[in-house]
Amino acid sequence: MGLIYRGVKYEPTQSPIAMAEAEVIGRYRGAALKRRTPKHAPTKHRVQGLKYRGVDVK
């Protein structure tokens, strides 16, 4: 499926994150609302030596 934004054509990409089964958390206008959670959350890499206005920030 091709998409166009401001005259530029592109193909949408899918997230490579594997999702767990969705659990039903409620209903809205007759449709079931589901919560999807990632099986393995990506880890965030901490930046070493980050400073703000001369002060070290964790």
Separation between Cα atoms, residue 22 and residue 50, nearest integer Å: 38
Q: How many domains does the chain have?
A: 1
- Residues 7-54 pLDDT 10s: 999 988 877 778 888 889 999 999 999 988 888 877 777 777 788 898
Closest CA to 20 of 4, 1, 2, 40: 40
Is residue 41 situated within a structural domain? no
Domain limits at 17? 1-35
Is residue 18 situated within a structural domain? yes
For the whole model, what pTM was predicted? 0.37
Is residue 49 situated within a structural domain? no
Is residue 7 situated within a structural domain? yes
